[in-house]
Structures are given as structure tokens and as C-alpha cells.
Amino acid sequence: MFTPKYPPQDTAPPPTTIHPQTTTPAPAVQAPAPVAPTAPVANRPVVQLTPGSALALAAGGGAVVLVVGAVLVSLLLAVAITGMSVAVTAVVLRSLVNNQKGH
């Protein structure tokens, strides 16, 4: 079940070999006439924003910023509350240990 399944050996393409080419001097060729530049053709669709879609995009971005900000503030508040509770616990334990030594 867990053993790999290999294709039959005869389906693999034959290995190709690269033969070195002999270098011969190229004949002198005249340069072609300069061609006027053309505008590049876009291969991907162009996104056009209408005023309504731009407003929706801005509102969505603002909502994301508010949600992320609320999450980060709540995490910071949780860390602060935990730190304060640990500090209060340390003070209480220290006072209990000091009370035990005095009596």
C-alpha cells in the first residue's frame, strides 16, 4: 500500500545528447530599417474601478483595519491584565512569606 508505484521503463523518453556546433564566421548582413515602436499589448485583464466599487473597497479596507486593530488592542489588554495579576500575586506571596518568618 505504501510502496511507490513506478511507471514502466519503456515509457521514459530517451536521453538527449548535445552536440557541439562548429563556429563559422557569419556573413556580413545589413541592419534592418528601424521599426516604429508599438504600444505593448496587455496579457491580463485591466481592472477598472467605478466610484461605487472604489467606495466599497475603501469601506472594506477600513473595516479590516478596525477589526485588526481591535484584535491587537484586546491582545495587549490581555497581556497587561495578566502582568498585573502576576504582580499582585507576587506581592501577596511575598507578604505571606515575610509574615511566616516574623512569627
What pLDDT shows up at residue 16? 78
Query: Can you give the pTM of this predicted structure?
Result: 0.45
Give me the DSSP letters along the chain: --S--PPPGGGSPPPP-PPPPPP-PPPP-PPPPP----PPPPSSPPP---HHHHHHHHHHHHHHHHHHHHHHHHHHHHHHHHHHHHHHHHHHHHHHHHHHHH-
SS (H, E, C) 55-81: HHHHHHHHHHHHHHHHHHHHHHHHHHH
Label residue 85 by pLDDT band (50, 70, 90).
very high
**pLDDT per residue as tens digits for the range 29-83:** 676 667 667 766 657 777 788 889 999 999 999 999 999 999 999 999 999 999 9
What pLDDT shows up at residue 83? 97
* End-to-end CA, the chain: 73
What pLDDT shows up at residue 47? 77
Q: Decide which of 58 and 13 is more confident.
A: 58
Label residue 18 by pLDDT band (50, 70, 90).
confident
